[in-house]
Amino acid sequence: MITPTLSDLRRYAISRSLFKPTTLPKAIAKLGFVQADPIRAPARAQDLTLRHRVSNYRAGDLERRYSKLPIEEDFFVNYGFVPREVHRLMHPRTARQVWSRARARQADAVLDFVRERGVVHPREVDAHFSHGKATSWSGRSRNASTQLLEGMHYRGLLRIARREGGIRLYAPREANVVAADPAATMDTLVDIIVNKYAPLPATTLAQLVVLLKYAVPHWLDARKSALARAKVRLPHATIDGRTWYWPAGENPRSRRHVVREEVRLLAPFDPVVWDRRRFESFWGWAYRFEAYTPAAKRVRGYYALPLMWRDDVIGWGNLSVVDGRLVPSLGFTNGRAPRDSAFRRQLDGEVARIEAFLGLAPR
């Protein structure tokens, strides 16, 4: 294969990730993992990601349809949603933090309680057991019952049945057997990573394999060899001193990787822009997620969405809803918007799509 150029990789990254919109189950299966985030500005990250890839998607569809879909909320390289077959690859999971005997007894009692009722709200567990308060990893005080339920979910004792008002409701999880071949399972998990985020710089591939500590903490020692095998089996090329990897059977130089003439506002965790190293290589400027940055230090805004025009990310947008109307505030890396009429038409089209996605009246 002729070595691709950076421009080839950029078009390839966009066209393969922003595939033709399909059904919600097919889109999640194709992505392999959808990262979740609780901030709603103006919608959650998972909804902002899926709206580009699911036909007629509306904000909240994932949560509304979750209980009928073959998916699970779980940790992968971050927290989010995975197809059920991916979920099974990561369980049974042994957490790195070992519970005390007292904590294990509490978990056994809660598990019996959940099995008896089928689906429970955290406040039901708290009311029944009165576990009191606990301190979270961030130092905040919270209900100990909620913390215990989250630990049981992570260990695969419980699953998320659905949400009510954003609150997780828990149900018993059916146990599955230990993977017969941990190395093969690790290779599959790495391939899911590569399929979602390709083409990946070598440093990003290594970072994501490290993050499998959340998915399979019981196989921490297997990550190094899994990464080594991936570097051997995956197609790759070195461009300007940086090695890039992509899935077997794909050609980054293929003519089918055509980027449509569209404007898109992408979620901060969209796979196209998730890797900040790749972002800077492709588009020549640094994008940062600033929601947790003190307001006085923000450069582009609380929840700035990368603004893509054709195959270039030319700026960012902050979206708010005021009196039932969408109010976009845009910024551009060169200080001004493109002057051609095609950009303006496509921007208007993207704003209209977002209004429909949010269920708002058009401007």
pLDDT value at residue 176: 86
Query: DSSP letter at 340?
Result: S
pLDDT band for 179, please (50, 70, 90 cuts). confident
* pLDDT value at 278 more than 90: yes
pLDDT value at residue 77: 98
Helices and strands counted in the chain (H then E)? 13, 14
pLDDT value at residue 115: 98
pLDDT value at residue 178: 78
96 burial via Cβ count (<10 Å: 0-12, 13-18, 19+): exposed
CATH topology of domain 101-172: Arc Repressor Mutant, subunit A (1.10.10)
The token pair that represents 219 in the structure block: 């196989």
* pLDDT value at 133 more than 80: no
- Averaged pLDDT for residues 325-343: 96
pLDDT in tens, 89-123: 999 999 999 999 999 999 999 999 999 999 999 99
Q: How far apart are CA 154 and CA 216, in angstroms?
A: 10
pLDDT band for 138, please (50, 70, 90 cuts). low
| Helical residues (DSSP H) of the chain, grouped into ranges | 6-17, 24-31, 45-50, 61-65, 84-89, 101-117, 122-129, 144-154, 182-197, 202-210, 223-233, 276-283, 341-358
Residues 6+ apart with CB under 8 A from 173: 91, 156, 157, 158, 159
* pLDDT value at 17 more than 80: yes
Consecutive H or E run containing 30: helix 24-31
Q: Are 176 and 164 in contact, with CB atoms under 8 Å apart? A: no
DSSP string, 35-50: E-----SSS-HHHHHH
pLDDT value at residue 141: 61
- Per-domain residue ranges of the chain: 101-172
pLDDT in tens, 48-82: 999 999 999 999 999 999 999 999 999 999 999 99
SS3 (DSSP) at 123: helix
CB atoms within 10 A of CB 140: 8
Q: Return the residue matching tokens 């890039």.
A: 244
* pLDDT value at 8 more than 80: yes
The token pair that represents 80 in the structure block: 């989010």
pLDDT value at residue 215: 98
pLDDT in tens, 201-257: 999 999 999 999 999 999 999 999 999 999 999 999 999 999 999 999 999 999 999
Q: How far apart are CA 69 and CA 160, in angstroms?
A: 12
Averaged confidence pLDDT in the chain: 95
- Averaged pLDDT for residues 137-154: 83
